[in-house]
Structure 1
Amino acid sequence: MAKIRTIFKQHPAHQNTGNGPTPANSDKDAVLPVLSTADAKKFGLENFGNTCYANSVIQALYFCAPFRDLVVQAIEVPQLPNQTINSATSSPTLGTPSTPATTSVPTIDSMPYSPSKPPISTTPIPIPPHPPTLFSALRSLYAHISTNPAERGTVAPRAFIDKLKEVNEIFRSTTMHQDAHEFLNFLLNKIVEEIEEDKRSVQQAKEKESLVNVDDLSNSVTTSSTSGISPHDATLVHKLFEGVLTSETRCLTCETISSRDESFLDLSIDIEQNSSVTACLRQFSASEMLCQKNKFFCDSCCDLQEAEKRMKIKRLPNVLALHLKRFKYQEDLQKYVKLAYRVAFPFELRLFNTVDDAEDADRLYELFGIVVHIGNGPHHGHYISIIKTLGSWLVFDDVTVSPIAEADIPKYFGDPAGSSSPNSGSRSRSQHQ
């Protein structure tokens, strides 16, 4: 379980999503002051003992503007009659009054993404100490940062970390190092789970009210039976990060091709010495022979046959997260080791390993976030994130935020010699602690 991650956003669709600086008025000679925006915030996050794995991912997700904006725009669902609901509903801006308790309470995913600047405020939105869900903990943290009148400072994500430990015992230890990639996957899936649970709660409340208020009881029952929302009917996580892989298997006897689809929120790719992300993606989709003990059962032949298998991308995600597998189990050592291979990654990327009829197959992704593991092995080390915002690259190292030249980023490609060195960290969007 090697970790290294790079985060790419679709270019230019998710570029400058409405949070850029306010342009000066060209009709006046004087240059107007530029208001602070969410993308301009340079806040470090306090470390509560081996929590750099969470800090690095939280920072990377914050600067994924569509994700941050959808999270921040969410508000708590108000109480419905005889039903207490902790849910995420969508609001055009922070501070919009809560939706009245009616039978048509919108959920966050029922409204289109509309980037908006945080309201001008003299004080930041406070962080509640006991959030009801992990999603609400993340929302209040992002709202606090994005509405802060200052552009620099330090924030203590205590409420988020406490909630994380509450909902998952794996993250409760203050001495054991955690895996940033595993944390990212848990966080995104937990957000999906909480949003869908809130949707079900809202739907149940609506159905209950319909049974009370609608004269035609049978009609209301019919309506409720067909109004369910499928699990993958687009939460904000699925809308942004979900793609679809298809595994194509061709029987070498009858030439029949069978395929199986599976969704993904990130792509985990094996790495090789002195390679590149493009080469690793090519290897990811390389043909694999199924023979001898690994023969494929062909439904057409009704027998085990030799076959050729290949993995391709059927649907591209709007935000692409790549995970470079730098931690590998070595049989001879009987333990996991870190692969400090040098793997170059581009600042812009097109995915070539798509199916022939993939929609918008030529879309261009622009790199904006990298989570780096610094250390010699999977059980010790440190995580930082390198993020591009408003045209500049910054290093977020817990409470420290500092600029980095784009020309210096290749230093994080890894060790050319392939040995484990303190600076041979991973690069990508999520990694080890």
Structure 2
Amino acid sequence: MAKRANRGGTGGRALKVLKASDEDIAAASRRAIDGTLDDTGRLLLFLSGAGGGSGLVRCGPTCKGNPRRPDCVCGLVPPEGSFRKKGLWRKDADALLENLGRDPADLKRLARTHPAGLKNLGNTCYVNAVLQCLFAIPTFRAAVYRLGPGDTNDGHTNDGHANDGHELRRLFASLQCGGRRFADPARFADSLALETGTQQDGQEFLKLLLTYLERVAGERWGRGKDATFVQTHFRGESSYATTCQRCGRASAASKNATDFYEVELCVGATVGGIGITLNGGLMDSLRQYLAEERLEGDNKYHCEFCDAKVDAVRAVRLHRLPRYVNFQLKRFVF
């Protein structure tokens, strides 16, 4: 578009002043960014309002973004005090952060020597508690690692399902060497077909897991030393010894020791009128567990040597302790 200027000072000739199009200005702006702007382009930008020697065209105060101009950043950031309905600059920043997820920096493990946690999949805190206790035993953890991939069909059983022994090794390795602050036990839970939304009994879960590992170790090593790593760590022997107060002899059954993998201890409680008061923690509970029970009155014991009902005492006798004693809370009193 052209318009005629004053004739003064031009020697009588008409001076045409051209108004550059947006395409011309945008092209000149790109050349300015690339460093290939010539004198004509500089003049064009100057006459278009760039000024200041910056080589870029200024946008108007109401510009909300021009897609035809690569140098225009108007509209990307809202004015001070303003927000967007959606996207990065929306007002509800907390919801945006929730969609983005946790900051990866927060998930990074501080150091390999720092213990890692286990993600709760819903109601799997009982599983996590058992796994953390087992993982904390270095020799037990090493034995689990020795159950190599070949021993569990590369992570699958004969029916094609994921093998929990294989997944337990993977999970222990993640807890020990992983770069995150917590490990995800989802694959291990899937291998056991656990209902992650249902709370189960941690004591029962530990029994089942140790029984399974015993079987896997037996299949792997037969009668070798490693085949008994579960027993070596947790199996002890005990018996109920009943002693006659008349003749002082113990019953024949008192010599029959049985295996145990856990010791159930009472805690302070009153159940069915039976009061049990324990104030000394673990040692007090152990003393109560090993205390003698008197059999007298209507509860007299029939001594096989005296062949009569006599007063007697009965108590738990520990014949052999495991390397690690598994203490559990006694939750039922009969």
TM-score of the pair, normalised by structure 2: 0.54
Partners in 1 of 2:153 and 2:126 — Cα distance? 27
Amino acid aligned to 1:141? L
- Determine what percentage of the aligned residue pairs are the same residue: 30
Q: Judging changes above 3 Å, is the alpha-carbon distance between structure 1 residues 131 and 145 closer, same or farther for their aligned structure 2 residues?
A: farther
Partners in 2 of 1:290 and 1:198 — Cα distance? 48
Are 1:133 and 1:194, in contact at CA under 8 Å, matched by a contact in 2? no
Are 2:217 and 2:228, in contact at CA under 8 Å, matched by a contact in 1? yes
Partners in 2 of 1:255 and 1:137 — Cα distance? 54
Alignment of 1:327-346 (within 5 A): 327-328=331-332
Q: How far did 1:45 drift?
A: 1.8
Alignment of 1:240-319 (within 5 A): 240-258=233-251, 259=254, 260-272=256-268, 273=277, 274-319=279-324
1:157 matched to which residue of 2?
A: 185
Higher relative contact order (CA 8 A, sep 6+): 1
Q: How far did 1:182 drift?
A: 1.9
Q: Judging changes above 3 Å, is the alpha-carbon distance between structure 1 residues 131 and 237 closer, same or farther for their aligned structure 2 residues?
A: farther
Verify: 1:182 aligned to 2:204, yes or no: yes
Amino acid aligned to 2:184? A
2:169 matched to which residue of 1?
A: 139
Q: Judging changes above 3 Å, is the alpha-carbon distance between structure 1 residues 307 and 146 closer, same or farther for their aligned structure 2 residues?
A: same
Alignment of 1:66-145 (within 5 A): 66-77=139-150, 86=152, 132-145=162-175
Amino acid aligned to 1:159? R
Say which structure is richer in strand: 1
Partners in 2 of 1:188 and 1:134 — Cα distance? 12
1:192 matched to which residue of 2?
A: 214
Secondary structure at the aligned position of 1:177 is classed as coil
Amino acid aligned to 2:217? I
- Where structure 2 has 5 or more consecutive residues not aligned to the other structure, the ranges are 1-110, 269-276
Are 1:134 and 1:190, in contact at CA under 8 Å, matched by a contact in 2? no
Of structures 1 and 2, the larger Rg is shown by 2
Q: Judging changes above 3 Å, is the alpha-carbon distance between structure 1 residues 291 and 137 closer, same or farther for their aligned structure 2 residues?
A: farther
Q: How far did 1:287 drift?
A: 0.7
TM-score of the pair, normalised by structure 1: 0.43
Q: How far did 1:244 drift?
A: 1.6
Partners in 1 of 2:226 and 2:306 — Cα distance? 37
Aligned residue among 47, 51, 57 for 2:120:
47
Q: How far did 1:246 drift?
A: 2.6
Aligned pair count reads: 210
Q: Deviations over 1:257-297 (max 9, x none)?
A: 13231222221111224332111111111111123454334
Secondary structure at the aligned position of 2:285 is classed as helix
Q: Judging changes above 3 Å, is the alpha-carbon distance between structure 1 residues 299 and 233 closer, same or farther for their aligned structure 2 residues?
A: farther
Q: How far did 1:160 drift?
A: 1.1
Secondary structure at the aligned position of 2:121 is classed as coil
Are 1:41 and 1:146, in contact at CA under 8 Å, matched by a contact in 2? no
Q: How far did 1:238 drift?
A: 0.7
Amino acid aligned to 1:139? R
Aligned CA RMSD, in angstroms, stands at: 3.2
Q: How far did 1:177 drift?
A: 1.9
Say which structure is richer in helix: 2
Q: How far did 1:144 drift?
A: 3.2
Q: Deviations over 1:153-182 (max 9, x none)?
A: 3322112111222xxxxx53x443222222
Q: Judging changes above 3 Å, is the alpha-carbon distance between structure 1 residues 77 and 300 closer, same or farther for their aligned structure 2 residues?
A: farther
Partners in 2 of 1:287 and 1:235 — Cα distance? 33
Amino acid aligned to 2:207? N
